[in-house]
Amino acid sequence: MNKRLIALVLAALMVLTAVPALAEEAASWLTDTTPVTLKVFYDRPVDASILADAWGNEPVSKVWIEETGVNIQWEYAPDDTHALINQRLAGEEYPDILICFTSYDQLQNLASHGIICKLNELEETAAPGFIERNMSQNTILAIRETFATMDIYGLITGSWKVEEMNNDENIGCMTGAMVLKSVYEAIGSPEATTMDAFLDMLREVKAAYPDIIPFQASRNPGKDSDGNPRCIYKLFGFFDIPASGYFYDEADGMYKKYMYSDNFYTLLEFVNTLYNEGLMDPTELTDSGAQMQQKLFNGRIFCNMNNDADNTDWFNDELAKAGIEDEWIFIDQPSINEEEGYTFDNLGTGVGTLCCVVFDNENSERSLQWLDYVMSQKPQLQINNGVYQLTWDFDENGVPTLYPEYEALSQTELKQLWGVNLYYFLRQQDILEVLKTKYGGTEKQTANIEHMAQYYKDYSFFNNQKAENYAADSEEIKIKANIREYWEPMILELITCAPEELPAKFEEAIAKIEELGQTTLNEHINDYFQNKTAVYEKYGADLDLSYLGL
């Protein structure tokens, strides 16, 4: 480990042990520690038996409650459709804090009607210095752009600070296809770096192992903002499409939506083949997260097409728990780009995809103070590792490491009984998380991480950009909604139709979305990317944008 990392870890240890003394002087969360219950809505599907039942019973949340006086009443979405939170908002049943994707289309509406707080104003009385402590230049710029204002309406989580973005210890790519090792070796460990070879490998698995499902796109269900299922948008990277879904069309010099890319049609052909040849379970299109994970954890899936390498300890624990003597490995990745190969960017602009917004009510100040507490060093360490000197300690290299008796537990047991990584959606991607994922896992997980690191390519020009950040009352947002209403069932038809029907159906689909106004949206997208520097300068006039080369 280099000297800089050791210094950072030692500094973190000093902060960890010094937090109580510092808190007495300045910590916002000590302003008021009288008991209060905050309603927090997490707009993602989670395992209810863990999050709801574990809170207040496992050690991490007990420490948080004791130190802040804040209890949490959790509510979470059953799926990725936003249906439940939309129902709550329509009935004016507002939570105190909403944790959601920054792309959630109701956010601007909540802000424009004064339903959520401007954090730059709320911090003045509730938590002076909150934004400076918890948001870097990149996240301030992103949240301003999200809400199209210089005010700051949300705290983005899962982010890297600007000063850490160029740290070569950060893992640029972790996401790709993983396979069951025993099955892969049994079929001869074939090289499958082209999409044709990859399909042939799946066919071989189907023939040799009829009880195993060759392919599953992800471990959870859900749809993107256009209505695509995960077996579509989670495969973008393998077909040389940026994860954001935008690309540059050299033929006419315009930036456009992914469906105009020849590579996207090839992706459709690939998924259509998977469906028609029985290489994917047709129920993947309707399964719940629990059902999808059960197949993965019970060894019924050969290839999970989209997962992060730092999840393999968890997945291997689940296999062992189910009595499966096997492990997940990351093979040489397939790609439609036969010259450059597979590439992916987990860092992007260093800005996470989730944000926390605070509702304007009698609990606003306590809500911001609680977020201020959770983002401080001690709770961030606890999110990753549990309670210091209960479940973990620093090893001789300064790496946060679980005690052996806890390393032996499954990831589910660690979450449910000890709070380890249970509140991952509140985590910031600081240097300690790098240490945990790269150095704190097993040798097998570390090998997977190092294998995937080779595939990093900087896609920050496209990723985490707000190219379709339309105002709530704009004509564009209406067009987008109408296109989604058409596209969501149509994409399922494209996946499940007979192969010979696909060309005509796809041509029909493109003609229909153009009739609905996609050309107008493409003009907006092109204008955004052609003038991106002006957008940055507009919302970052008071920021140091040197990290963007400005």
Is the pLDDT at 7 greater than 90? The verdict is: no
CA 545 – CA 272 distance, rounded (Å): 44
Q: At what angle do helices 377-385 and 59-68 cross, to 10 degrees?
A: 160
Domains and CATH numbers, the chain: 3-159+352-429 (3.40.190.10), 173-339+459-540 (3.40.190.10)
Is the pLDDT at 433 greater than 80? The verdict is: no
DSSP notation for 8-69? HHHHHHHHHHHHHHHHHHH-GGGS--S-EEEEEEE-S---HHHHHHHTTTSHHHHHHHHHH-
Res. 166 pLDDT band, cuts 50 70 90: confident
Q: What is the value of pTM for the model shown?
A: 0.84
409-420 confidence digits (pLDDT tens): 887 889 999 999
58-106 confidence digits (pLDDT tens): 999 999 999 999 999 999 998 777 889 999 999 999 999 999 999 888 9
297-353 confidence digits (pLDDT tens): 999 999 999 999 989 988 998 999 899 999 999 999 999 999 999 999 988 888 998
338-383 confidence digits (pLDDT tens): 999 999 998 888 899 899 999 999 999 999 999 999 999 899 989 9
Res. 439 pLDDT band, cuts 50 70 90: low
CA 76 – CA 48 distance, rounded (Å): 8
Which amino acid makes up residue 302?
F
Q: What is the mean pLDDT of residues 467-478?
A: 86
Is the pLDDT at 20 greater than 50? The verdict is: no
- pLDDT attached to residue 435: 58
In this structure, the number of other CB atoms found within 10 A of the CB of residue 49 comes to: 11
Please, what is the average pLDDT of the chain? 90
The secondary structure of the chain in percent helix, strand, coil, rounded to multiples of 5, reads 50, 15, 35
Is the pLDDT at 183 greater than 60? The verdict is: yes
Is the pLDDT at 126 greater than 60? The verdict is: yes
